[in-house]
């Protein structure tokens, strides 16, 4: 449950002065009564999105839990095929929505970079075994390749078979080692 007034005041200040959007997810519906706009979802479907006062007025309810219950019941009935209920409100199509507040030619944004960096840092601190695996895997691969491929061969027997010598290996006995002649 969200009980701290200091945090709430700080979030409101960020939303008003810095034009930030604050998204808080909760299963305590009555906590959302103090928000400017709320969105109620059920099974991944947005049931309603408006101010808490307007939502309770549209549903003729005294609290948000009753409004959510009515919206959930309406969704359930629509999924079961009841056509006698009123249609849900139409929402603007994605083409009617305003574009995001990003500069179109901006490839680099310091705030986005720092946010991604902080997100990755927090994720790594929460997943220490994965962090160790990611850090140790390249070293392990390098050591494995060096052990398998990087050593000098020792004590390997070498055999030469040549069907071109007319008398076999007897031609090689009078020559220095590793030097056989193919002439008869």
State residue 1's pLDDT score. 46
In this structure, the answer to whether residues 9 and 62 fall within a common structural domain is: yes
Residue 74: Cβ within 10 Å count: 18
Judgement on whether residues 26 and 76 belong to the same structural domain of the protein: yes
Helix (H, G, I), strand (E, B) or coil at 176: coil
- In this prediction, residue 130 carries a pLDDT of 95
**More confident call, 45 vs 160:** 45
Report how many domains make up the chain: 2
Residue 18 structure tokens: 């810095």
- Residue 134 CA, chain-centre distance (Å), reads 16
pLDDT tens for each residue of 17-62? 888 877 777 777 877 787 888 888 888 888 888 999 999 999 999 9
- Asked if 115 and 77 sit in the same domain, the reply is no
Range of 19's domain? 5-96
What is the model's pLDDT at position 3? 59
Quickly tell me which residue has 């500069």 as its tokens.
103
Distance (Å, whole) CA 77 – CA 69: 12
Q: Give the model's pLDDT for residue 94.
A: 55
The yes-or-no verdict on residue 154 having pLDDT over 80 is no
What pLDDT score was predicted for residue 85?
A: 46
pLDDT tops 60 at residue 179: no
Last residue of a domain, one of 96, 120, 137: 96
**More reliable by pLDDT, 172 or 52:** 52
Pairs from 37-46 (Cβ < 8 Å, separation ≥ 24): 38/64, 40/67, 40/68, 40/71, 42/68, 42/71, 42/72, 42/75, 43/75, 45/75, 46/91
What's the average model confidence in pLDDT over 148-167? 75
Each residue's pLDDT tens digit, 92-149: 555 566 666 666 667 778 888 999 999 999 999 999 999 999 999 999 999 999 988 8
Quick one: which of 88, 32, 51, 42 has its CA closest to 69? 42
- Residue 179: inside a domain, yes or no? no
Does 130 lie in the same domain as 85? no
> Looking at the structure, do residues 68 and 120 belong to the same domain, yes or no?
no
Does one domain contain both 23 and 55?
yes
The single-letter DSSP state of residue 6 is H
> Looking at residues 63-79, what average pLDDT do you find?
87
Residue 91 and residue 10 share a domain: yes
Task: Please report where in the chains the tokens 């929402």 appear, as a residue.
Answer: 91
Query: Which tokens hold the place of 152?
Result: 């000098």
The average confidence (pLDDT) of the chain is: 78
| Residue 161, in any domain of the structure | no
pLDDT at residue 168, as a whole number: 66
Q: pTM of the entire structure?
A: 0.40
So what's the pLDDT on residue 43? 81
Residue 120 lies in a domain: yes
Domain assignment present for 105 = no
């Amino acid at each position: 449950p969200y009980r701290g007034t200091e945090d709430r005041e700080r979030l409101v200040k960020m939303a008003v002065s810095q034009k930030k959007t604050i998204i808080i997810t909760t299963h305590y519906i009555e906590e959302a009564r103090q928000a400017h706009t709320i969105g109620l979802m059920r099974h991944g479907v947005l049931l309603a999105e408006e101010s808490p006062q307007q939502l309770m007025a549209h549903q003729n309810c005294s609290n948000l839990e009753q409004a959510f219950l009515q919206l959930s019941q309406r969704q359930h009935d629509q999924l079961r095929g009841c056509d006698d209920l009123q249609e849900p409100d139409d929402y603007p199509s994605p083409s009617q929505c305003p574009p995001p507040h990003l500069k179109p030619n901006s490839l680099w944004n310091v705030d986005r970079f720092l946010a991604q960096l902080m997100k990755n840092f927090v994720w790594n601190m929460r997943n220490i075994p994965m962090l160790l695996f990611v850090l140790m895997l390249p070293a392990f691969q390098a050591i494995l390749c060096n052990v398998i491929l990087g050593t000098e061969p020792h004590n390997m027997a070498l055999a030469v078979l040549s069907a071109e010598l007319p008398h076999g290996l007897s031609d090689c006995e009078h020559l220095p080692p590793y030097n056989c002649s193919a002439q008869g």
